[in-house]
Structures are given as C-alpha cells and as structure tokens.
C-alpha cells in the first residue's frame, strides 16, 4: 500500500467532486487511484487524475438531512447522494468505521445492483485502504462517500427464478443464459433478468462462503479473457463487484459472509446474463509478461475500467487472470 501520503492527497482532491456525472455515469477516479496506489504506482496518481479531471463534476447539492428517523424514505433516492454522504460522514466521525459498516452492510447489500454495482466497488476500495491504515481522515471520508453513493443508488433485485446450476463457479457462470433483448442501459437490462442458475445456495459456513467467493472472483476474471468482447466495459463488473465484496469480508463479522456471497453471486451472474456474448473468442497475449508489466500497461492505457480489472486480476494472481487484464487493454479505448 501507498505510504507516501499521495493516496490521501488524491482522495482529498476528489472529495469535492460528486459520485456521478451526467446524471448517470460513475466517477471512477477514487477507485482507480486507490488501485494504482495499491500496486506501486502512487507516483503516477496525480498525473492520471489530471487526465481524468475533465470527467469530474461538482459535488451535488443537499436536499434534506438524512437522520436515524427518516433514512428509510431516502434509501434509493438518487437526488439524495449529498444527504447520504453527509449522514455517513457524521456517523463515521462519531463511531468506529467498522461499527458503521457492520450496521449498514446488511441494509445495503440487497441493493448493491444500483449504480451498475459501482457503489459497492467503491466501498470495497475504501475498506481496503482502511484495513491497511485504520485512521486517516481522507480514507474515512472516502468510506462515507462510498456508502452514501450506495444508499442513494440502492436498487434491489427480487423474485428471480432459480435455474439449474453447477458445482463450480466457472461452470455456474457458463450456465447463465444471456437475456434476449440487449438494448438499453444497465437498469433496463437488469429488469429483464428473471432467473439465474443456482450456485452455492447450500453454503452455511462463513469460511466456506469466503472460499466460494474467492472462486467466483477467479472464475469471473478468467472468463473476461474469452468473453469480454460481449461488452468490454460492463463485463468488468462481473469480476470487480464480487471482488469488492470479498475485500470487505475481513472488516465484517463472519455472520454476514454467507449473505454477502449470495449477493455477490447474483450480481456477477446478472451482469453475465446482461452482457455476455453468444460465443467465446480465444485470446493469446503477443508476448510473455510479468504482473509488473501488466500494471504498467494498464497505467499507460489509462482507462479506469482497465485499471480496476487489472487490480482484480492481480488479486487473483495467476497467468489467466493477467491475460484477462491484457484483454481489457486490447478491447478498450485509452483514456487519452
């Protein structure tokens, strides 16, 4: 992790910006700079931010203060992002951040599909920084921004029909049937997902849930190498959303690990159903590579989703995962 203070500087620089732009697109900068700092690229963070800065918008206006008495009516109200960020800022200032996270995780978990899963991903990056350094103000503020964004974009998915599944995560993702109508954005497509394969439904042991979630992240990352062409950007989230959940588990009591696995599977499988191509395409890198070289290539490319998938690929740590990161570089348009 970054010990230079650059990450904290970058987060402070970003906290004057809103969590979205153009009313629907996510501000990826806090996640991307955390990923870069986590993998030895802190020295490039501000230069990358300078390139990304035109995509940032000002922090949104406050509508009405969120309180312990009225939060239910504000949940999922996209106009209330500033209200929610303020609420979590106050909560985290008054209580240990782990206590706030533990209280709100089961409340927010059913709605992690809102904002195309970006809010839970932002929370996962924030928690990783806090597990490395429990106390800096910018990192605590970043958690309040992530949780607040999640609460404002809260969007549950219910009444999914359980379909025949498989034993392994990879086979279960392969069993996902793509939705028929592929037009529209994330919310429209999500509304067309009516059933998903059953996987890991019988898991009750928290440590088994963590192992299964690790398997899911690995399988989804590997799958991007051959299926990412279905939608180069959105299919990244089939891996990064469950990885965000996995990153948060050490900060949560084990009693919350099993429901976390189930929500992560539903998210990964739903994204797969919404964007997967009809057939895989083989991809072979043009030359041998190291993990450090893949990070450098992702940074040189600059696209925020490339950086985040590379970050997850490095967590998985094997050659197939790094190949998936290189595939994202091959498919995606550079930042500049």
Domain residue ranges of the chain, discontinuous segments joined by +: 6-152, 157-336
- Strand stretches in the chain, DSSP E: 20-21, 25-26, 161-163, 195-197
Per-residue pLDDT at 3 exceeds 60: no
Could you tell me the pLDDT band of residue 4, with boundaries at 50, 70 and 90? confident
pLDDT exceeds 80 at position 44: yes
pLDDT more than 70, % of the chain: 99
- Residue 288: burial class (beta carbons within 10 Å; 0-12, 13-18, 19+): exposed
Q: Which residue has the tokens 């008495």?
A: 69
pLDDT band at 286 (very low <50, low <70, confident <90, very high): confident
Kindly state the average pLDDT of the residues 28-47: 96
Any alpha helices (H) in 39-161, and if so which ranges?
45-52, 71-74, 81-94, 97-108, 118-132, 137-152
pLDDT at 234 (0 to 100): 97
Torsion-angle region of 76 (φ positive above 0: left; ψ -120 to 50: alpha; else: beta): left
Tokens of 40: 């030895």
How high is the pLDDT of residue 133? 83
Contacts of 91 (CB under 8 A, 6+ apart): 100, 144
33 — pLDDT class (breaks 50, 70, 90): very high
pLDDT of 57 above 70: yes
Q: How many CB atoms lie within 10 A of CB 82?
A: 19
What is the pLDDT at residue 288?
86
Diameter over CA atoms, the chain: 59
So what's the pLDDT on residue 69? 97
pLDDT reported for residue 48: 98
Mean pLDDT of 93-115: 97
pLDDT at residue 1 tops 60? no
**Rounded Cα–Cα distance for residues 190 and 6 (Å):** 38
Which percentage of the chain shows pLDDT scores above 90?
A: 94
**pLDDT tens digits, residue range 243-273?**
999 999 999 999 999 999 999 999 999 999 9
pLDDT tens readout for residues 299-321? 999 999 999 999 999 999 999 99
Nearest-angstrom CA–CA distance, 261 and 248: 11
What mean pLDDT do residues 75-89 have?
A: 98
Helices (H) and strands (E) in the chain, counts: 16, 4
Q: What is the pLDDT of residue 192?
A: 96
Residues 6 or more apart whose CB falls under 8 angstroms from that of 161 comprise 194, 195, 196
For residue 292, is pLDDT > 80?
yes
pLDDT by residue (tens digit) across 186-223?
999 999 999 999 999 999 999 999 999 999 999 999 99
b or e along 6-22 (b: 16 or more beta carbons within 10 Å of the residue's beta carbon)? bbbbbbebbbebbbbbe
Q: What pTM was computed for the model?
A: 0.97
pLDDT band at 24 (very low <50, low <70, confident <90, very high): confident
Residue whose token pair is 């900060």: 251
| Average pLDDT value for residue range 65-76 | 97
The mean pLDDT value for 46-56 works out to 96
Mean model confidence pLDDT for the chain: 96
Per-residue model confidence (pLDDT) at position 2: 60
């Amino acid at each position: 992790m970054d010990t230079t203070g650059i990450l904290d500087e970058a987060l402070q620089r970003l906290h004057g910006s809103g969590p979205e732009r153009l009313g629907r697109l996510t501000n990826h900068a806090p996640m991307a700079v955390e990923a870069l700092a986590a993998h030895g690229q802190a020295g490039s963070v501000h230069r990358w931010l300078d390139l990304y800065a035109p995509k940032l918008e000002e922090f949104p206006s406050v509508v009405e203060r969120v309180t312990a008495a009225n939060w239910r009516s504000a949940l999922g109200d996209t106009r209330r992002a500033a209200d929610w960020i303020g609420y979590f800022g106050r909560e985290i200032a008054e209580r240990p951040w782990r206590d706030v996270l533990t209280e709100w995780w089961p409340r927010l978990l059913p709605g992690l599909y809102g904002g195309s899963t970006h809010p839970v991903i932002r929370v996962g990056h924030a928690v990783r920084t806090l597990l490395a350094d429990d106390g800096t103000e910018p990192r605590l503020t970043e958690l309040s921004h992530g949780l607040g964004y999640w609460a404002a974009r809260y969007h549950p998915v219910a009444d999914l029909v359980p379909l025949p599944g498989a034993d392994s995560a990879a086979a279960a993702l392969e069993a996902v049937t793509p939705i028929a109508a592929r037009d529209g954005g994330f919310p429209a497509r999500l509304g067309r997902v009516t059933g998903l394969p059953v996987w890991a439904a019988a898991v009750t042991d928290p440590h088994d849930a963590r192992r299964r979630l690790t398997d899911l992240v690995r399988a989804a990352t590997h799958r991007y190498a051959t299926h990412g062409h279905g939608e180069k950007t959105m299919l990244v989230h089939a891996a990064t959303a469950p990885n965000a959940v996995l990153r948060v588990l050490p900060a949560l009591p084990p009693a919350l690990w099993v429901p976390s696995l189930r929500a992560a599977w539903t998210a990964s499988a739903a994204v797969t159903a919404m964007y997967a191509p009809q057939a895989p395409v083989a991809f072979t890198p043009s030359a041998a590579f190291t993990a450090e070289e893949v990070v450098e290539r992702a940074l040189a490319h600059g696209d925020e989703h490339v950086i985040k998938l590379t970050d997850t690929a490095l967590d998985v740590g094997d050659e197939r995962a790094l190949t998936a990161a290189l595939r994202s570089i091959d498919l995606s348009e550079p930042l500049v």
